[in-house]
Amino acid sequence: MKCSSSVFNKEMNYNILVFCIAIYFGIVLNIPLWQTFYEILSKLEIVSVGFIISLPIFLIAALNIIFQLLAWPYIGRVLFSVLTFVSAITAYASYHYGIIFDYGMMENIFETNSGEAASYFSLSGLIAIIIIGVVPCLFIIGVKIKKQSFIKTFVIYKLISIVVSILIIILIAALFYKDYASVGRNNKYLNRVINPSYVYTGIKYIDRTYFTKPIPYQKIGTDAKLVTTATSNGKPTLFVFVLGETARSQNYQANGYARPTNQYTQSDNMISFKNVTSCGTATAVSVPCMFSAMNRSNYKKAIAYNQDTFIDILHRAGISILWKENDGGDKGAGDRIQKITLNHSATDPLCDGESCLDMALLNNFHQEVANMKGNKFITLHIMGSHGPTYYKRYPKDRAFFKPDCQRSDIENCTKEQIVNSYDNTILYTDYMISQLIQQLKGYSDKYNTALFYISDHGESLGEGGLYLHGTPYSLAPKYQTTVPMMMWFSKSFTQDRGLNLTCLENIANNAKRGDYSQDNVFSSMLGIMNVNTSVYKPKQDLFRQCRTH
């Protein structure tokens, strides 16, 4: 009563304001947490009513302790205003998309460009953030604070508030310790769902990225040499590596999906691996991991960003390298090679000022190939199926599946519309790849041509209440960690490499989940490009067992 009374009187004791902020965080800005608890507790056979009632009380008491320690004159109101506004955004994202703001998500957020970030904004989202974020901020800044003695009232009230909160926590722990311990042990991710736990992970990311001294750069594969096979036809190689974005294997016709999402490449006899797992659930992890010599089990970002990738080793062996970028960044994988980034503001019908359709990557392709020498390796980093603005990844005349979702706040679209939009992105990627293959076929008299496509991670489309990607790997559904991996080889390439396509297709069709992953990319690219080096791992080369030499 005192809290609400003070609000209406427009004058408030500073410590009570802090307590009210703790209540607001505990009840409103942690609705995603209560949603998660509901899902957990509803699966249990027996749940104590007292335990359920204690949950918000425990959280509010804990938040009050933390907030009271942070609340001091001159800085408190500004601090809580910023914290409330940011927490409103995270609460909205968590509630609607099931996003957990752990360290991996922080990497994704900090390394997202402005155009990509803008795609997440919507009118309904803006209204929600104004209501739960901006309005409370205006109240925190504008409410009158009662004048009080710093020592006699301010500090004493603060200590009383903290002590009472501690006693409440002790009492709850004494009564329901077994319940808290059981739920906590079986759901260790819960601490990452609490708002504003993102502050800790954000500070951790900033410290590691901007204040931790980077490790010395390490060159690997310094002995790399290009070898010539006995059956070489003398033609140089033109290899295109298409790095996909947010494509999940389950929506590929080539992998058993009922819809015709691969209708353009069907006649190209592409080989598709169905159960390939990703290194991460976000681009910021999967891309540097995939291009590095590390596996997912021992991947470390600090090493990946300061060590040669397989592209660096190919370049060292004398292969001409080019990276074309349409997805906001190579995440360090292309730092030391020739790189072309599409200009999203270019006067090109394939660009709209914020992004470009992936077909724009094929502009000037012939000239770029002509400018390269010898054996050539080109990486095309596509926008692919990046959401939530799926509808911006394909032109309207390529909307094969209808009705689609023509908005960024996909939670306000039907499941059918979301899936239709997403499948249209997969189909448009398939169209782009088919057009690229046609161009490669045109080089058959001059080059041994090949194409390799793999996505960085998958996507959730509402299954289990999850949308988009970036869920911690241990919690992520298979939709986010199973990616398409497809390849096409010209006849002269297979002959030059002694590659048995029937063998490769049998392996692809019979592979089980866990047999192949992005861990295989590093050595597979070195092997198929005929580069000999001590860092090559034969067992991880997925082509090796199907080559006669």
Residue 459 burial (CB < 10 Å; 0-12/13-18/19+)? buried
Q: What is the pLDDT of residue 181?
A: 84
**251-279 exposure pattern, b = at least 16 Cβ within 10 A, e = fewer:** bbbbbebebebbebbeebebbbbbbbbbb
Residue 9: band (very low, low, confident or very high) from pLDDT cuts 50, 70, 90:
low
Q: What are the start-end ranges of the H helices in 146-233?
A: 156-186, 190-193, 198-206
Q: Are the C-beta atoms of 261 and 436 separated by less than 8 Å?
A: no
Q: What is the pLDDT of residue 480?
A: 97
pTM of the entire predicted model: 0.84
Which residue, 258, 237, 185, is CA-closest to 423?
A: 258
DSSP class per residue in 146-162: ----IIIIIIHHHHHHH
Pull the structure tokens for residue 209: 């990225």
Q: What is the pLDDT of residue 3?
A: 53
CATH of domain 236-546: 3.40.720.10
Per mean pLDDT, which range of 134-138, 329-333, 522-526 is the poorest? 329-333
Q: Are the C-beta atoms of 218 and 307 separated by less than 8 Å?
A: yes
Pull the structure tokens for residue 364: 């000037």
Residue 8: band (very low, low, confident or very high) from pLDDT cuts 50, 70, 90:
very low
206 vs 484, more confident = 484
Decide if pLDDT at 336 tops 60.
Answer: yes
Residue 314: band (very low, low, confident or very high) from pLDDT cuts 50, 70, 90:
very high
Strand 271-277 to 482-489 pairing: antiparallel
Compute the mean pLDDT over every residue in the chain, rounded to the nearest whole number: 92
Q: What is the pLDDT of residue 45?
A: 80
How far apart, in whole angstroms, are the C-alpha atoms of residue 473 and residue 64?
32
Residues 6+ apart with CB under 8 A from 376: 236, 237, 238, 239, 319, 320, 321, 322, 369, 447
pLDDT > 70 fraction of the chain, expressed in percent and rounded? 96
How far apart, in whole angstroms, are the C-alpha atoms of residue 448 and residue 129?
54
Q: What is the pLDDT of residue 6?
A: 46
Residue 10: band (very low, low, confident or very high) from pLDDT cuts 50, 70, 90:
low
Q: What is the pLDDT of residue 115?
A: 65
Q: What is the pLDDT of residue 229?
A: 65
Q: Are the C-beta atoms of 454 and 521 separated by less than 8 Å?
A: yes
Residue 464: band (very low, low, confident or very high) from pLDDT cuts 50, 70, 90:
confident
Decide if pLDDT at 43 tops 90.
Answer: no
381 vs 93, more confident = 381
Decide if pLDDT at 54 tops 70.
Answer: yes
For the residues 142-156, what does the mean pLDDT come to? 83
Q: What is the pLDDT of residue 230?
A: 58
Decide if pLDDT at 1 tops 50.
Answer: no
Q: Are the C-beta atoms of 118 and 386 separated by less than 8 Å?
A: no
Pull the structure tokens for residue 449: 């041509």
431 vs 191, more confident = 431
Q: Are the C-beta atoms of 291 and 284 separated by less than 8 Å?
A: no
Domain segments of the chain: what residues? 2-209, 236-546
Q: What is the pLDDT of residue 12?
A: 85
Pull the structure tokens for residue 193: 């769902």
Q: What is the pLDDT of residue 188?
A: 80
Q: What is the pLDDT of residue 543?
A: 97
Residue 20: band (very low, low, confident or very high) from pLDDT cuts 50, 70, 90:
very high
Decide if pLDDT at 350 tops 70.
Answer: yes
User: Any idea what DSSP says for residue 393?
Assistant: G
Decide if pLDDT at 376 tops 70.
Answer: yes
Decide if pLDDT at 334 tops 60.
Answer: yes
Q: Are the C-beta atoms of 100 and 472 separated by less than 8 Å?
A: yes
231 vs 359, more confident = 359
